[in-house]
Amino acid sequence: MRYLYIAVVVGLIASTAISLYLYVIEAFTGKQLFTLLLNIDFIYTPSESVPENLYLAFEYALHVLVATLIVSVYLYLITKNNKMWERRMEIAALLSFIAFLTYFPLTILAKTTTPAVTDIVAIFDWFIAHVIFFFNLYYITEWLFKKTTKQTT
């Protein structure tokens, strides 16, 4: 139950932080990075009768779910054995880097307007967003591990 609590809390905070960052980038630059982050139009396109805000909430919920799953994988890996525990920062960085790499397939698959696969500025902003994800993943998990360990002892 402790790991589920940590996964949900960290997943929610990390996904919200990355969403806010990319929303601000999109608002100021017009680069559709927030749109790319939540976009699933290559899997499902809603009918015209679905309100736009409801669909946005659905996309955001999926984004939080994916972040929570990434945190769950992270927790599984670092608690598997002592060697993995000692390398938890590297594992968090690796998972965040893999998430960063989704820029390329998501951009290629998107039916809606998104930045070009070769847009260096958009790639850099996407990278910074996933660095934010990394810091949230690693440091909030560390804090929650210490907090929940103190409560159980």
The full DSSP string for 49-82 is: TS-HHHHHHHHHHHHHHHHHHHHHHHHHHHTT-H
Range of the domain at 127: 2-152
Q: Exposed e or buried b for every residue in 92-112, given b needs 16+ CB within 10 A?
A: bbebbeebbeebeebbeebee
- Please measure the distance between the N-terminal and C-terminal CA atoms of the chain and give it in whole angstroms: 16
Predicted local distance difference test score (pLDDT) of residue 28:
97
Tens-place pLDDT, residues 72-87: 999 999 999 899 999 9
3-class DSSP assignment, residue 112: coil
Predicted local distance difference test score (pLDDT) of residue 152:
59
Number of structural domains in the chain: 1
Predicted local distance difference test score (pLDDT) of residue 151:
66
Predicted local distance difference test score (pLDDT) of residue 43:
82
What's this model's pTM, rounded to 2 decimal places? Answer: 0.91
Q: How far apart are CA 133 and CA 106, in angstroms?
A: 18
Tens-place pLDDT, residues 85-133: 999 999 999 999 999 999 999 999 999 999 999 999 999 999 999 999 9
Predicted local distance difference test score (pLDDT) of residue 45:
74
pLDDT at position 149 over 90: no
Predicted local distance difference test score (pLDDT) of residue 48:
79
Tens-place pLDDT, residues 38-65: 998 888 777 777 788 888 899 999 999 9
